[in-house]
Structure 1
Amino acid sequence: MGNELEELKQVVAQLRKDVTRLSEEVRKLQYKYGYYLDKCLYKEVAELYADHPDTCVEFLGGRYNGKEGVKRLYVGRFAKAFVNGRNGPVHGFLLDHPQIQGIVDVNAEGTRAKGRFRSMMSAGTHESVKDTHPRGLVQWWEGGIYENEYIKENGVWKIFRLKYFPFWHATFEKGWAHTKPNYVPFLSTTYPEDPNGPNELCENPMLWPDTRVVPFHYEHPITGEPVADDDLRAPEFGKDPSTSTPPLTLSKPKSEA
């Protein structure tokens, strides 16, 4: 009995090491995504995504489906808007958004994972390029939450479904208290009408001063319960939650819906 118990302890210890290692691999994948994106290396970003048909990116109220949709967002929309279509940075343009507070959970088979990350972005242009960069002279802040899914393809971890909720934006000069409504308009036109547009639009997109909770992929670590739907809402001060916009939801792959 003593030997069996000791063997079981060793198995449990090894399993814990395996889970920790897999979680760290996924966390590193997300961090590498951030480093590539900061320097406008959009081709490298796109290659981090899985080839699965349910692969997608959700961004600013739109959903880009499949690897082609992923490329359309990064290599199409972002590259053209920020760096004139090149792959890599341009002089005088800043876009730094660290990937922080990473929480990763891997399934029992070690083939799928979910992760929640926070981003705090500082971005803008230097005054020396204000007459040559299409953004002119601008500097802004952005805060966002990622609730992502990852998949192991041919033994390699890849981004499966990236869901980024840009929680707030603000000019550097006036800050978030003075952010104008619709500061960054939600995507409203789909592909192919918009050559760089999403395949479909998401329901109930959010942006500051909307402060609804981005749902958690995990349950409470002590109670084992999810956060109640009403507690995910953000009613005006003193008003009932039912008066608020519906709570946000996390989309699922079509194969699992």
Structure 2
Amino acid sequence: MSNEIDDLKKIVAQLQNQVTRLSDQEEVRKLQYKYGYYLDKCLYKEVADLYSDHPDTCVEFLGGRYNGKEGVKRLYIGRFAKTFVSGRNGPVHGFLLDHPQIQGIVDIDTNGTRAKGRFRSMMSAGTHESIKDTHPRGLVQWWEGGIYENEYIKEDGIWKIFRLKYFPFWHATFEKGWSHTKPNYIPFMSKKYPEDPNGPDELLEDAMMWPDTRVVPFHYTHPATGEQVADDDLRAPHFGGDPSESLPPLVLSKPQSEISG
């Protein structure tokens, strides 16, 4: 009888762990979706509050890394708010900036305190003709597609964004589409803070933009083979070209605490 009770206790413990893991996955997924909804309406203070206060917290975007919570605020409340909505927190009339968060794959670590997630965003953005003379962007409309490979952390029982790494994979004007995207359509970061008051703390070497189609590395292994994709298969050579002669594969950054450890 005691053996049966012990077996039942083990089963209950396993089920509890599984329920907790599934619950954590859903909470992280909801966190990323909420990020997208706040970002849609330029609610940059709310976006910044989704981030952890951990010293390794960061955002990687367009060839720059914004470090710590102060760096996060500098990007959203500084750079984005001033550029898109004249420094306010919230939308302005006639400006569209939708960021649907889709295809979310979330994995929780064995300790249940860290997670990694991969999401896709397909953004539509632009201005209405009624504000073309008052908004600094004038009359513009564009498409954007990007991949997130993010890390999350549980603080005091609440999941927060730890390290957001967004790769804006392609941009396109609404009129001509992605086949006619001009080179350097969205310029990479070129000046650091404080030279640029809203600039990143670091400039990254391995930025990418369409028509560069290298694979953003997957945080997870193949579900059937348990293996990572080969480095050469992450490259994007010209049609019929030798992969080894093309740009090197992208590499996802790690928290300083992991590098030091």
TM range, normalised to the smaller chain?
Answer: over 0.9
| Residue identity in the other structure for 1:233 | R
Quote the offset at 1:2 in angstroms. 4.0
- Number of matched residues? 257
> For 2:191 and 2:230, how far apart are their aligned partners in 1?
33
The residue type equivalent to 1:27 in the other structure is: R
Partner of 2:32: 30
Given that 1:150 and 1:158 are in contact with CA atoms closer than 8 Å, whether structure 2 keeps it comes out as yes
CA displacement at 1:7 relative to structure 2: 3.3
CA deviations on 1:72-129 (whole Å, 9 max, x unpaired) are 0000100010000000000000000110100111111111110000000000000000
| Alignment partners' CA distance in 1, 2:111 and 2:185 | 43
Aligned-partner Cα distance in 2 for 1:10–1:221: 26
- Corresponding residue to 2:198 among 180, 196, 217: 196
What secondary structure, in the 3-state scheme, does the structure 2 residue paired with 1:15 have? helix
2:41 to 39, 42, 63: 39
Cα deviation code 1:167-205 (max 9, x no counterpart): 000000000011011111111111110000000011221
Which contiguous aligned blocks of 4+ residues in structure 1 show a shift greater than 3 angstroms? Answer: 1-7
AA partner of residue 244 (structure 2): S
Distance in 2 of aligned mates of 1:27 and 1:110: 15
Which residue is equivalent to 1:14?
A: 16
Which of 75, 78, 101 does residue 76 from structure 1 map onto? 78
1:155 Cα deviation after fit = 1.8
- Displacement of 1:5 in angstroms is 3.3
Among 131, 143, 146, the alignment partner of 1:144 is 146
The residue correspondences of 1:1-257 to structure 2 (distance < 5 A) are: 1-257=3-259
Amino acid at match of 2:230: A
**How far did residue 18 of structure 1 move?**
1.1
Identity of matched residues, %: 79
Rounded Cα–Cα distance in structure 2 between residues aligned with 1:109 and 1:256 = 15
Alpha-carbon distance in structure 1 between the residues aligned to 2:6 and 2:171: 57
How far apart, CA to CA, are the structure 2 residues paired with 1:14 and 1:47? Answer: 30
2:75 partner letter: L
Secondary structure of the corresponding residue to residue 45 of structure 1 = helix
In structure 2, what is the Cα distance between the partners aligned to 1:222 and 1:203?
Answer: 33
Asked whether the 8 Å contact 1:151–1:160 carries over to 2, the reply is yes
Q: What is the Cα-based RMSD across aligned positions, in Å?
A: 0.9
Q: Matches of 1:53 and 1:11 in 2, distance apart?
A: 34
Q: CA deviation at 1:256?
A: 0.9
* AA in 2 matched with 1:114: K
Q: Which amino acid aligns with 2:235?
A: R
What is the TM-score of this pair, normalised by structure 1? 0.98
- Distance, in Å, in 1 between the alignment partners of 2:122 and 2:193 is 29
Q: CA contact under 8 A between 1:61 and 1:201: conserved in structure 2?
A: yes
**Alignment partners' CA distance in 1, 2:100 and 2:152:** 19
What is the TM-score normalised by the length of structure 2?
0.96
| Distance in 1 of aligned mates of 2:239 and 2:10 | 53
Is the partner of 1:122 in helix, strand or coil?
A: strand
Q: Secondary structure at the match of 2:182?
A: coil
Once the two structures are superposed, residues 118-168 of structure 1 have per-residue CA deviations (whole angstroms, 9 ceiling, x without a partner) of 000000000000000000000000000000001111221110000000000
- Please state whether the residue corresponding to 1:165 is helix, strand or coil: strand
User: Secondary structure, in 3 states, of the residue corresponding to 2:214?
Assistant: coil
Check conservation: 1:204, 1:246, Cα contact below 8 A. no
